Amino acid sequence: MRYTGETCPVCHETFTDGDDVVVCPDCGTPHHRVCYKQQNACANAALHNEGFAWAPVQSKTGQQTAPVSTLLTEKPTPEERGDGHNIVFCPECGAENGAEEPVCTQCGARLYNNAANGQPFLPPVQLPNGAAQGYLSGMTVIAPTDTIDGNTVLDTAEYVQTSARRYIPKFYKMEKNGKKVSWNWAAFFFAPYWFFYRKMYGLGSVLLVLLLAVSALAGTPQYVEKNDAVFNTAAEVRAQLQDGTITQQEAAEKCAEPYAALTSTTEFRVISAVNFAVSLFSGLFANYFYKKKAAKEIQKMREVSRSPEEYRLRLFRRGGVAVFMCIASFWIYLLGGQVLMLAIFRLLQ
């Protein structure tokens, strides 16, 4: 095939009869050999997954045909995609735009059919399709259009994201019976870290500070002395068991006395009671606080969003979980508790 009169997509120079032309094996786009080697890829590589196929701009008769830009994929619509969650990013400023926008709402750059200007095509980003989720509360089927705190189940599920199948039935049941109590095993065993995992940083911080303050009691001289006695006895018993000088029953009896002395201290009882109270509170009311937080944020995002696409994107970004914050809160408690215990021990010596 002759490419004379066509344009190289890299240097934008017109091909002549003497040019050394190479063709992309995937889409057929012609390039100057030097331009192709310089880029080490087809200029339309970003379009290959969209099924793009190059076609000449000039017909054999010399008449102008449809420009290359019109050969790109047509503007997607929510109806064509099926879930109404399409967004595109502006190739000029990177701003997020709804899939129905022909130009960027921030800088005015074209969002579609712009590869002829040397700009790569940026396909829509697919957000989760919550309409495909199914939820059950006992024998009741929960439809995506049902409401929880004034928001649809679909919106709430897209905000929760991880484990939505578990939380939506709980939220729905609480909504119907008007109760605030709903058991959460994860929050019971992993409080206060669960609250950071679910981006409830305010309540999580309050519980974390409470546990840190109580853990400082483990730095009193009396508690440290009895705690050291437990560890020293355990190390001694372990060595005697290895030597065979005592039996398992004797070892248990020998460890029981210092451990009983430790558990009888006021500090141990206060620490245990507060930790259990935090866990019990979290297990009973974590779902309620999470439900209220989700409802509040969803309503706020609906108010500030300028389009359905922006609203869906905000749900996707503001919701979900925060693994890093969960891990960070654990290390804050671990290291902060050690610092507080050391400070109390030195202060009371």
Q: Domain-by-domain residue ranges, the chain? A: 21-70, 72-126, 147-213+271-335
Q: Fill in the DSSP letter of residue 123.
A: P
Residue labelled with tokens 């929960």? 142
CA dist 81 and 62 (Å) reads 38
pLDDT at residue 134 in the model: 54
> Which of 162, 208, 150, 195 minimizes the C-alpha distance to 288?
195
- pLDDT score of 307: 83
228, 244 contact by CB (below 8 A): no
Provide the phi-psi class of 175: left if phi over 0, else alpha when psi is between -120 and 50, else beta.
alpha
Task: Return the pLDDT at 70.
Answer: 32
pLDDT tens per residue, range 273-291 = 999 999 999 999 999 999 9
State whether the Cα torsion 95-100-102-108 is positive or negative. Answer: negative
Per-residue confidence in pLDDT tens, the chain, 349 aa = 567 788 888 888 888 887 888 888 777 788 888 888 887 888 888 777 777 777 776 433 344 333 333 333 333 333 333 444 456 666 666 666 666 566 677 766 665 544 434 433 334 444 444 444 456 555 567 888 889 999 988 899 889 988 888 899 999 999 988 999 999 999 999 999 999 999 999 999 999 999 999 999 988 988 999 999 999 999 999 998 988 888 999 889 999 999 999 999 999 999 999 999 999 999 999 999 999 999 999 999 999 988 887 888 888 889 999 999 999 999 999 999 889 888 888 888 7
CB atoms within 10 A of CB 115: 20
d(CA 85, CA 99): 9
Distance CA 166, CA 284 (A): 16
Helix (H) or strand (E) holding 31: strand 30-32
Tokens of residue 17, six digits? 């009869």
Contact call for residues 176 and 164 (beta carbons, < 8 A): no
Instruction: Provide the pLDDT for residue 335.
Output: 94
Contact 194, 286 (CB under 8 A): yes
Question: Chain-centre distance of CA 12, in angstroms?
Answer: 42
Sort 66 into a burial class: Cβ within 10 Å, 0-12 / 13-18 / 19+: exposed
Q: Is-contact 21 33, C-beta < 8 A?
A: yes
CB 221 within 8 A of CB 345: yes
User: Rounded distance, CA 27 to CA 10, Å?
Assistant: 15
Whole-angstrom distance, CA of residue 165 vs CA of residue 135: 6
Predicted TM-score (pTM) of the model is 0.60
Q: Residue 13's pLDDT is what?
A: 86
pLDDT number for residue 137: 56
Q: How far apart are CA 40 and CA 36, in angstroms?
A: 6
